[in-house]
Structure 1
Amino acid sequence: MTRFVIYTPLYRENSGGIIVLHKLASLLRAMGHDVKIWPQQKPAIYELATVPGWKKAVLWAKWRALGLLGRKDLRSPYRLSVARHKDINDSIVLYPEIVAGNPLRSSKVVRWLLNKPGAISGVVDFGENDLFFFYQEKFNDWALNPDTNNRLTVTELMSDTYVSENTGTRNGQCYMVRKGKNRALDYHDKNAVRVDGVSHKELAKIFNECKYFICYDPYTMYCRYAAMCGCIPVVVPENGVTKEEWRPEIYNRYGIAYGWDDVPWAVETRPQLMEFLSESERRNEELARNFVATVEKRFSD
C-alpha cells in the first residue's frame, strides 16, 4: 500500500481539472492505497509564517465554523478524507501543474500536467526532482518529462447523466466559452444558448435539444458529453493550429468536429467515440496502475 496526498481545490462540478483530481484519489483508494486530499484552500503549517497564509487560515476556520465545507456544491461525491500535516511525511504528494512551488514541503513530489505548464496561471515553478505525468500529449513538456509512458489520463463520464434521449428532430445551437474567453466569440449563431456554469443535469437536457454544441475551449470533456447526448460538438479552431496539432492522437478526435468543415467527421466517427468511452474505466485502472508502479520505483528509497 502506498500513501498519497493529492493537493486539489475543493470540489466543483464545472471544473474538469478538479473533477479528475478527485476521481484519481477515488481510483487509487479503490486499488487499496491510502489516499487523502489536501484542499488548496487549507493552509499548510509552513504558510502560517506569511500574511497570506494567516489570511488563508482565518478564512478556512471561518468556513469550517459556518459549515460551508459541507455545502453540496463543494462536497466531493467521492467521499474523500482530508489529510492532516502528519500525513505528509509518509506520503507522495501530487500537485496539478497550476500549483507553484511545494506548499506542503514534501520530499516526494509528483506533478500532473492537466494543461500546458503556465497556460492557466502564467507561472511555472517546479522542483528539480519532481516526477512528471501528463494528461495528454498536447500538455506535456518534453524537456521536463521525456518519458512517453508517463501518461495519466483519468476520465469521469457521468454516464448516468449524459445520455442520448432524443431520437427526433434537433434544432439550434448552444455554446461554451470557458478557457476561450480571450477569443473572438463569433462562431455561434446569435440565438445560441450559452451554457457556461450550467449544472450537469440541466446541460444534458440542453444537449438533447440542440443540434450543435459550439465550444471555444479546445480542450474540455464537455465536447464528449455533448456527443454522448447526440449533440454534434464543434470546436472553434485556433488560428495556425491544424487538426492534427490540436489533437495529435486520433482517438481524441473521434466524434468531435474541428470547425464546421469537420462536421461530417464528427458524425461518422461518433460510434468509435462511444466504443472508446465504453473502455474508459478499464483504461483508467490500467494507467493508474502504471502511475503507481512508476512513483513507487522513483520514491522507493
Structure 2
Amino acid sequence: MSELETVFFAKRRNPYYVVAPRYVRTSAGIKVLHFLCHALNRMGETAFLIIYPHSPPYLSTHPALNTPLLTKRVMDYHRESGLTPITIYPENMRGNPLNAPFVVRYVLNYAGLLGGDEAYPESEYCISYSEAIAATVPRSRHTIFVPASDPQLFTPPPAGTKRQGGCFYAGKYKYYHGGKTSPVTEGMEEILRDRPDAQTPDQIRDLFRRCEVFYCYENSALAIEAMLCGCPVVFLPNEHFTDLIGKAELGTYGYVWGDDPAGLARAKETVVQARERYMELFALAEQEVRRFVDGTQAAVQQVTYDEPMSDAYVPKIKASERYFSVVRTIWLMVRERGLLYTANVIKNRLKSGRIKLYEA
C-alpha cells in the first residue's frame, strides 16, 4: 500500500530551525535567512525561525513571509515524535549555543569577518552563500545564492529618462571601520541605512533611476538594486573590501571593480544584461535549496537526538497561560457535554498521563 498523499496530514519530515535576527530590510544576510525559511515551507517542508537576539514576536518577522516562530510546545512535539531538527546557524554565531543535534552552518560572509568562528568542525553541514565564499570553506556542500533584492520594486526608469550625477554607499566601511571616502564620491548623495534620516526603499529606487553611476565601498545588496534599476556600479576596493562576494553569480555585467573609465563604459553598456542575469538566479537558487533538502534529510538520519535542545531563545507558555487554557477547556467541555462526561474524561486522562497542551 502506498503512503497516503493528502494535504490534510503533515508529512513526517525532520523540521528545520533557522536561527536569525529579526527581519530587517536593510540587511541582505538577514533577509536571506528569512527567505530560506519561507522557501522551505513553500516547498512542503516544516521550517521555523528562532529569533536571536531576542525580539518581540510582532517585530520579528515579515508579514508576507511564511516564517512561523518556533515555540517550546513545537520543540517538545518534534522531540516526542522522534523527529530530529536540522538547525541552521549563520556564520557570525559562535559554536552551537542551542545544543542542536544536527548543525547546518550557512556561511553568508567570509568566516570571522563579522564575528563568529573562523573555522567549523567536521560535524557541521556547511553551505555557502556564493562560490567565492565556498572556495574559502572546507567541506562546503552547497552554494545557495538566495536573491535578496526585489526586482519588482527595483525596476528601470521609463525609456528616454535622462540620468545625471551619482550616489554612493559606505555603510560599514565609513561608520563601522572608520574608513575615509574617496574624492571621487565627494559631493554626491550618500545612501544611509539604519538611521533616522535614511532613505526609504522607494527613495533609493528613485535615486538609482536618475543617477548615472552608483559607487559602493563594500559588499552590499544595494549594488544589485542599482543594476536592477539600470544604474551601473563602481566598486571601490579598500582594506576591508578586497573581493566581490557574488562575482560568480552576478557575472561581469553592469559593474566595474575600481574607478576605471573604460570599465565604467563597459558597465553602462552591459547593465541591462545584469538584470537578465539576476532574474535567472531565482530558479538556480530554488534548485539548490531542493538539493540541500535532499542532502540534509539523508544526513540527519545518521544523527541521534539524545539531549534536548536549549529553549533559551524560544517563547514559552507561562504558568498563568497554562492554567487558563486548562480551565477554559474544562469549562467548554462542561458546557457542551455535561459535568459527568467531563469528570470521566479528566479521570481517564489523569490515569493515563495524557493531559497535555497538545495532542499528537
- Which TM bucket (shorter chain)? 0.7 to 0.9
2:258 matched to which residue of 1?
A: 259
For 1:214 and 1:248, how far apart are their aligned partners in 2? 16
Name the SS of the counterpart of 2:19 in structure 1. Answer: strand
Alignment of 1:98-177 (within 5 A): 98-121=92-115, 123-124=117-118, 126-140=120-134, 142=136, 144-145=138-139, 147=140, 150-166=142-158, 167-177=160-170
For 1:13 and 1:124, how far apart are their aligned partners in 2? 27
For the pair 1:5 / 2:5, whether they are aligned, the reply is no
2:58 matched to which residue of 1?
A: 70
1:48 matched to which residue of 2?
A: none
Map Cα deviations across residues 56-96 of structure 1 (whole Å, 9 max, x no partner).
xxxx5xx4xxxxx424x864531410012452753100000
For 1:246 and 1:284, how far apart are their aligned partners in 2? 16
2:299 matched to which residue of 1?
A: 298
Name the SS of the counterpart of 1:154 in structure 2. Answer: coil
For the pair 1:33 / 2:22, whether they are aligned, the reply is no
1:56 matched to which residue of 2?
A: none
Correspondence for 1:81 among 64, 68, 72: 68
Give the C-alpha shift of residue 189 in structure 1.
3.1
For 1:31 and 1:246, how far apart are their aligned partners in 2? 27
For 1:101 and 1:2, how far apart are their aligned partners in 2? 22
For 2:87 and 2:267, how far apart are their aligned partners in 1? 39
Give the C-alpha shift of residue 196 in structure 1.
2.0
Tell me which moved more, 93-102 or 118-127. Answer: 118-127
Q: For this pair of structures, how many residues does the alignment match?
A: 272
- Whether the aligned pair in 1 keeps the contact of 2:95 and 2:117 (CA below 8 Å) is no
Distance change in 2, residues 1:196/1:82 (3 Å) = same
- Whether the aligned pair in 2 keeps the contact of 1:133 and 1:152 (CA below 8 Å) is yes
- Whether the aligned pair in 1 keeps the contact of 2:16 and 2:48 (CA below 8 Å) is yes
1:232 matched to which residue of 2?
A: 232
For 2:217 and 2:34, how far apart are their aligned partners in 1? 25
Distance change in 2, residues 1:70/1:251 (3 Å) = closer
Q: TM-score, normalised by structure 2?
A: 0.69
- Whether the aligned pair in 1 keeps the contact of 2:153 and 2:205 (CA below 8 Å) is yes
Give the C-alpha shift of residue 250 in structure 1.
7.2
Name the SS of the counterpart of 1:36 in structure 2. Answer: strand
Distance change in 2, residues 1:232/1:144 (3 Å) = same
For 2:45 and 2:249, how far apart are their aligned partners in 1? 33
Distance change in 2, residues 1:132/1:104 (3 Å) = same
Distance change in 2, residues 1:79/1:299 (3 Å) = closer
For 1:117 and 1:25, how far apart are their aligned partners in 2? 22
For 2:67 and 2:223, how far apart are their aligned partners in 1? 28
Tell me which moved more, 117-126 or 234-243. Answer: 234-243
Tell me which moved more, 74-83 or 168-177. Answer: 74-83
Q: TM-score, normalised by structure 1?
A: 0.81
Name the SS of the counterpart of 1:20 in structure 2. Answer: helix
For the pair 1:186 / 2:182, whether they are aligned, the reply is yes
Distance change in 2, residues 1:18/1:274 (3 Å) = same
Identical positions, percent: 23
Question: Counterpart amino acid of 1:275?
Answer: E
For 1:119 and 1:229, how far apart are their aligned partners in 2? 30
- Whether the aligned pair in 2 keeps the contact of 1:100 and 1:125 (CA below 8 Å) is no
Q: Which has the larger radius of gyration?
A: 2
Map Cα deviations across residues 97-151 of structure 1 (whole Å, 9 max, x no partner).
0011112110100001100110011643744411101111222364632x5x521
Give the C-alpha shift of residue 254 in structure 1.
1.9
For 2:237 and 2:245, how far apart are their aligned partners in 1? 8
Tell me which moved more, 111-120 or 164-173. Answer: 164-173
Q: Whose relative contact order is higher, 1 or 2, with alpha carbons under 8 Å and at least 6 apart?
A: 2
2:204 matched to which residue of 1?
A: 203
Distance change in 2, residues 1:116/1:297 (3 Å) = same
Gaps of 5+ in 1: 43-59, 64-68
